[in-house]
Structure 1
Amino acid sequence: MTDLRAATEPHRGQPEPFRWEGVAELAYKEHDSTFRGVTRRVLFGAGDGLGVEVRYFEVAPGGWSTLEHHEHPHQVIVLRGSGACLVQDRVIPLAQHDLVLVPGWAWHQFRATGDEPLGFQCVVPLDRDRPVLPSPDDLAALTADPGVAAFIRR
């Protein structure tokens, strides 16, 4: 008989804003220096049976995520702060409660532009490929647009 009990706790309180009981703050990426001031938390994952991972990222004021692309799409919900993101060739301003769809293979990067962290929830498939960084040719193509060139941080 299959055990249908939840693999994780059915409830995790929030003792302070954007911090959840039993949810550790993790390094954004291991052995990578292509970002500044980013942390992540895995809110739901493999043990939940849904086939997705729900993560919460915080980008410190003035910080940015890695410029990358990958095969899997992801969905982003801005929960706090303000900022901007690059999705392929568009720089998009971000405010609380905005939704962003990053299609597969779209170049993307997130930046915090306000005085508080840019916090966002990100939903990705559990079975996903690894991010790919831009080659010099990719970077040249991306930065041919002056608006994109001014936005990108490395």
Structure 2
Amino acid sequence: MPFLLLKYGVIVLYVVKVDSVKEFELKKEGAKGVKVKYLLHAGVGAKRIQLRLFTIDVGGYTPLESHEHEHEVFILKGKAKIYGENCILLAEPGTAIFISSFEKHKIENAGREPLQFLCTKETSEIPNELKDQDQR
């Protein structure tokens, strides 16, 4: 169960265990075998950043995309193949990755076990999957 501290009706502290957060399939064109948990977001007080936990199945990948927001990624488990506009890199647990605004990128599971990583997204919006539900 999450812990929530309010001051004057505003969330000032929110603590949640990963196991208690609902997982969603990433339903984007060009994605295969990708699941996401929205750990921190506007619905729980994070006004500018989302923190998401991604799990990519063996043989899975995110879509190749480019957008205004940047990403910070931290590999927790498995092996990742990171595609940039003009490069392909391999990343293992303990690797931190910065992806700037408008850089084409894709993350693929390059291993024999599920790939897990944390990823930030600059946004003040509640994730679409959570808009019709209790955020906590």
Which structure has the bigger radius of gyration?
1
SS of equivalent residue, structure 2 residue 8 = coil
TM normalised by structure 2 equals: 0.78
Within 5 A, what are the aligned runs for 1:51-90? 51-90=48-87
Number of residue equivalences: 118
Note the residue ranges of structure 1 that are not aligned, 5 or more in a row.
13-18, 129-154
Within 5 A, what are the aligned runs for 1:1-150? 2-6=8-12, 8=14, 10-12=15-17, 19-21=18-20, 23-29=21-27, 32-46=28-42, 47-127=44-124
Rounded Cα–Cα distance in structure 2 between residues aligned with 1:33 and 1:52? 24
TM normalised by structure 1 equals: 0.69
- Cα RMSD after superposing both structures: 2.0
SS of equivalent residue, structure 1 residue 20 = helix
Q: Percent same amino acid at aligned positions?
A: 23
Provide, for residues 65-85 of structure 1, a one-character-per-residue CA deviation record: whole Å limited to 9, x for no partner.
100000111100001000211
Rounded Cα–Cα distance in structure 1 between residues aligned with 2:29 and 2:46? 33
Bigger fraction of residues in strand: 2
Change (3 A) 1:7 1:82: same
